[in-house]
A and B are shown apart, each in its own frame.
Chain A
Amino acid sequence: MKLRLRLALTAVAVTVPAVFALVQVEHSVRRRTTDEVIAASVLTQMQSGGRERCESAPDTWMVRTRSQRPPWEREGVPNLGDGPPSGAPNGPSPGEAPGSGPREPGSDGPPRGRTGDRGPFGRRLPPVSLFPFDGRFVSANAQAPVLDDDLREGALADGVGVRRYTKEQDGALVQDLLLRMPWDGGPCAYVLARRVEPADSPEVGLPPLYIWGVPTFILLSAMVLALGPVMQRLRRLTEEVRASSGSHYQQPVTVRGHDEIAELARAFQEARAEIQAQMAHQEAREQTLRDFLANTTHDVMTPLTVLQGHLAAMQQRILAGEPLEPTLMHSAMSEAHYMASLVHNLGAAARLEAGAPQVQHAPVDLNALVSRVLGRHQPIARPQRMTLESGVPAKPTWVMGDETLLEQAVSNVVLNGIRYGRLDGHVAVVLETTRQQTFHLRVIDDGPGISDEERSRLLERRFRGNAARTRDPQGQGLGLHIVHNVVELHGWTLTLAPSEYGGLEVGFTGPLMPPPG
């Protein structure tokens, strides 16, 4: 459903019952007041001579008088026409009734047409007729209407019986009030006051249409009209949002003003910025992944080619009946070994690039880690006649960290030492703890070492994924960058210095953790 239609229907749905309820409330208030006024006036009338006249001629006594105007109508009309100027509360003074009573026993009431008797809309107030009843609710007057049980019971219980019913033929409202007089016995112990409201009276139906219909109509039109610009702005915003999503959220949405619609536009702008950021992030990740795949393929293919070359050479020698050279064999092994390390490094690089959530921190025993690293590289170092040594504390050295990444980092440094070490060279891993609850792990070699310039370059350059991944001529590219990043990730310190044996000394320093358990 359209917003405008829905709003109009809602307004109607709220207004109509409200109007009806108000009319009902007004009717009931008006009736109750009328009842009270009629009762008071009849009592006054009867006490000031009416009783005597009634009792003297109960068979003919009957008063037809104009009804007392209710107070709300009286207030609006300061001039009570021909009423007594003394400001008697009732238009037709009760004093007048005794004269008119016996004089006008017929059907005609007092003369009509006096302006003072007209309501605010020029309506003439309906007359009230009085009929006497004795203590057994029997009237001597033949014209008196028949009393029903409601009236009798009401009069017996409260002194006033009230009944309203609608005359069938013309829809007029008939109001009967049976009043008990403040005396007992006699033919006039009860007086029935009957008032007849014509069908067109405001007390019967709805107030005239122009009273409530016009304001309602004006209100509805105003609402519908006021909705116009709102709808227009909403429609424009919708179009802009559609256009924006169609342009991959490149196109912005205009934000005007400070109301709720502007707020909606602003919220969309924010959502758009968020979506754009997410899309950019996603795109960057995808690009990284594509590059990663391409680089991985390249990086693995190269040593694999070398390995194939070695294997082919071996096969040729075997076919030619020549003995296999141990160096050839060793080169092939070392190439396979390097490839394994490379694949691990690529995996580590992928995790490092993915960021912290991929890093699992758990207690790691560095003693065991050092022993595993040496165990892994021993088969490659031995044929090269390189000695791998390690010295660790007697007790396990527990640190918090990602075991895989840490092992890979230490392994990279050791493997670099082996790969670039000389024949009969050495690589040693020394792990020490201090009283300040820190550990110091050093990897020392007596290889060629690296120049000051390259050392600072390795320490300064941040790992930028692809740039660092290529196998640089020194071969230390990816491996040392991973070392650098792993150390940084753990908040440790990495030092590169010339070792006292002429080679390189790589140091890791970080905090210890208390032993678990």
Chain B
Amino acid sequence: MGDRILLVEDDDPLGSQIVGHLRGAGFEPLWWREGRMLVAGELPDVSLVVLDLMLPGTYGLDMLKALRTFSEVPVLILSARNDTLDKVRSLKLGADDYMTKPFWPEELVERVRARLRRPTLQKDTLQKEQAVVEVGPLRIDLQAHAVQVQGRPVELTRVEFELLAALARRPQEAVTRQWLVEHVLDPEREGTERTLDVHVSRLRRKLGPVKCVETVWGVGYRLVPGEDA
């Protein structure tokens, strides 16, 4: 942590709140109480800019435009206007995200984190497919079709492996049941969500005692680092 974040916010109470919350979340906020026309070299070394549009439409966007001429630092726009045109315009000018007031501090921190996380994520996806995925005690070799739990190899059927691999390709994300039925189960045989559930419980048994395959209510399943039973 400790990423430096530039906050441009003219409202004092809101500015100090945001500074407090960012600091609480482990960031190093730098607060400008007014917008400045930025030129190259004037921008402090920060990982992200939180920019209030202040007056709807003009000043914040001008600043963003100037900033984009020399810097690719992620910019998160704050605006009181929930307006599609404003959003589209800001994104066109190079903003990375747009948040409408009011928002909860937690929401802002989450969005900042997500934005800072993104570059590495992109790098990951660029590598097309990782050969080996490690989630907690699980080690899944996608090419060798080999799975280890806490260093112990586990024998899986083809469907079980495909199921685990599908979840492993998107760790921490819920994969819907329907998707799994369509992409993992053998299309030759009649596959239903019920069949899928059966495969999942078999897989869980084989991976036990580690609880890695989590049921996501209403959605499907998710691969998590898990914990020992």
Contacts and interface: CB of A to CB of B under 8 A. Distances in A.
Interface of A: 336-337, 340, 344, 347, 359-360, 362, 375-376, 378-380, 387, 389-394, 402-405, 408, 426-428, 430, 432, 444, 499, 501
A405 B84 contact: yes
B223 to A, nearest CB: 13
15 contacts: A337-B104, A344-B82, A347-B82, A360-B84, A362-B88, A376-B107, A389-B216, A389-B217, A391-B173, A391-B174, A391-B219, A403-B84, A408-B82, A426-B217, A426-B218
A454 B214 CA distance: 35
Interface string B53-96: 00000000000000000000000000000111101100000000
A423 to B, nearest CB: 15
A386 to B, nearest CB: 10
A230 to B, nearest CB: 55
Nearest to B217: A426
Given A391-B219, A404-B83, A430-B218, A379 B176 contact: no
Given A378-B106, A432-B179, A404 B87 contact: yes
Contacts of A392: 173
B88 A375 contact: no
B107 A428 contact: no
B12 to A, nearest CB: 20
Contacts of B173: 391-392
B41 interface: no
Nearest to B166: A394
Interface in B87-134: 87-88, 100, 102-104, 106-107, 110-111
Task: Tell me what chain A mostly uses at the interface: helix, strand, loop, or mixed.
Answer: mixed
B220 interface: yes
A387 B110 contact: no
Nearest to B175: A391
Given A394-B170, A402-B84, A501 B218 contact: yes
B178 interface: yes
A408 B106 CA distance: 20
Closest 8 CB pairs of A and B: A428-B218, A391-B219, A379-B104, A360-B84, A391-B174, A391-B176, A426-B217, A404-B84
B163 to A, nearest CB: 15
Given A347-B82, A430-B176, A389 B111 contact: no
Nearest to A425: B217
Contacts of B82: 344, 347, 404, 408
B169 interface: yes
A391 B85 CA distance: 28
Nearest to A388: B217
Nearest to B102: A340
Contacts of A426: 217-218
Given A362-B84, A362-B88, A391-B174, A375 B110 contact: yes
B176 A360 contact: no
A45 to B, nearest CB: 104
B84 A428 contact: no
Contacts of A360: 84-85, 88
B20 to A, nearest CB: 16
A376 B103 contact: yes
A404 B84 CA distance: 5
A378 to B, nearest CB: 7
Contacts of B217: 387, 389, 426, 428
Contacts of A387: 217
A378 B104 CA distance: 9
A394 B218 contact: no
Given A380-B104, A430-B218, 6 more contacts: A344-B82, A359-B84, A378-B110, A379-B106, A389-B219, A403-B87
